[in-house]
Amino acid sequence: MPELPEVEALRGFLAGATAGRFVARADLLAFASLKTFNPPLSALLGLQVGDVQRRGKFIGLDVGGLWLVFHLARGGWLTWRDEQPSAPARPGRGPLALRVVFDNDSGFDLTEYGTQKRLAIYLVNELSEVPGIATLGPDPMADDFTPEVLGGILDAAGRAQLKGVLRDQRVIAGIGNAYSDEILHAAKMSPFKPANSLDAAGRKVLYDAVRDELSAAVARASGLQARELKDAKRSAMRVHGRTGEPCAVCGTTIAEVSFADSSLQYCPGCQTGGKPLADRRLSRLLK
């Protein structure tokens, strides 16, 4: 799943590639992916792209005063082509959900693989009309995301576990499964540590880990082509997706906790005092 750094890189790429372009075609193939009906997608035709913005894991294109918004979810992705096929795309069994073509024949495809169809597309007058955007927590890369803001979040979370707090988009926008693993590893904290158990020093360590890990990931992703982002993300992970490998910091074998539809990775040596965490495979905590 793309998270804040990859989505920000996609936003930056689209901002450069679509600036000043006019929409020539918008072919919808996966009708269930479109979550709005008024205005219709046909309203985009002939309109010019202005700004491109990110809200958490959402990307929004300002097209003539309308906002074309999408959330890639777990199995979605964006593919850019300098020259799109001239014939309109037709519905089928493939992964293509939406094709947008501009006046110079360039454009992008939104695709989704897998059985869980969660790719979401919206056409709205204001970004706040998208339900997921309206309920987002603060952006951890924003200037006003201060240590005091994080402290208030931890206080409000009570005994909720840090992993779940970091991943909850209503609490902090943009961090998902992978970067929450990396942040907690950098902070040397257990994913199951209660949020309100951190003292002032611990809160500073967590805040610095959030900002440093995300800033570094954004820097790595900046300027990459969309097709390069997935591999760049994987290669930079220290614990996420590295179960069974030695920790690059202390050499301890990276461990995993499995849940009903996801898993987390951590280093027992760095994060839990050498003790393995119970595998809560049936837990619903991190849904």
The per-residue pLDDT for 283 is: 42
Residues 173 and 81 both lie in one domain: no
Domain of residue 48, CATH code: 3.20.190.10
Bridge partners of residue 76, in order along the sequence? 112
Any domain includes 266: yes
Q: Are residues 158 and 83 in the same domain?
A: no
Claim to verify: residue 55 and residue 87 sit in the same structural domain: yes
* Predicted pLDDT of residue 192: 96
Task: Kindly report which listed range (66-70, 87-91, 105-109, 206-210) carries the lowest average pLDDT score.
Answer: 87-91
Residue at which a domain ends, from 134, 159, 190: 134
How far is residue 142's CA from residue 168's CA, in Å, rounded to a whole number?
Answer: 17
CA distances from 49 to 15, 58, 62, 253 (A): 9, 17, 6, 49
Say what percent of the chain tops pLDDT 70. 97
Where does the pLDDT of residue 282 fall: very low under 50, low under 70, confident under 90, or very high at 90 and above?
A: very low
Question: What's the pLDDT score for residue 115?
Answer: 74
Q: Is the pLDDT of residue 208 over 50?
A: yes
Query: Tens digits of per-residue pLDDT, 41-57?
Result: 999 999 999 999 999 99
Q: Would 80 be classed as within a structural domain?
A: yes
pLDDT per residue over 165-207, tens digit each? 999 999 999 999 999 999 999 999 999 999 999 999 999 999 9
CA–chain centroid gap for 152, Å, is 23
The whole-chain average pLDDT of the chain stands at: 94
Confirm if 180 and 237 have CB atoms less than 8 A apart.
Answer: no
Same domain as 155, residue 126? no
208 and 238 in one domain?
yes
pLDDT surpassing 50 at residue 284: no
Q: What pLDDT was estimated at residue 280? A: 57
| pLDDT over 70 at 119, yes or no | yes
pLDDT band at 145 (very low <50, low <70, confident <90, very high): very high
pLDDT band at 76; cut points 50, 70, 90: very high
Please state which of the ranges 28-37, 108-117, 216-225, 267-276 shows the lowest mean pLDDT: 108-117
Residues 13 and 126 in one domain: yes
CB atoms within 10 A of CB 11: 19
Q: What is the mean pLDDT of residues 53-75?
A: 97
Residues 130 and 157 in one domain: no
The 3-class secondary structure across the chain, one letter per residue, is CCCHHHHHHHHHHHHHHHCCCEEEEEEECCHHHECCCCCCHHHHCCCEEEEEEEECCEEEEEECCEEEEEECCCCEEEEEECCCCCCCCCCCCCCEEEEEEECCCCEEEEEECCCCCCCEEEEECCHHHCHHHHCCCCCCCCCCCCHHHHHHHHHHHCCCEHHHHHHCCCCCCCCCHHHHHHHHHHHCCCCCCEHHHCCHHHHHHHHHHHHHHHHHHHHHHCCCCHHHHHHHHHHHCCCCCCCCCECCCCCCECEEEECCCCEEEECHHHHCCCCCCCCCCCCCCCC
The residue among 81, 112, 134 that closes a domain is 134
86 and 130 inside one domain:
yes
In a domain? residue 282: no
pLDDT digits (tens, 9 = 90+) for 120-136: 999 999 999 999 999 99
Domain count, the chain: 2
Q: Which domain holds residue 62?
A: 4-134
- Note whether 153 and 249 are same-domain residues: yes
Q: Where residue 167 sits, what CATH number does that domain have?
A: 1.10.8.50
Task: State the pLDDT at residue 94.
Answer: 84
Looking at residue 281, what is its pLDDT? 52
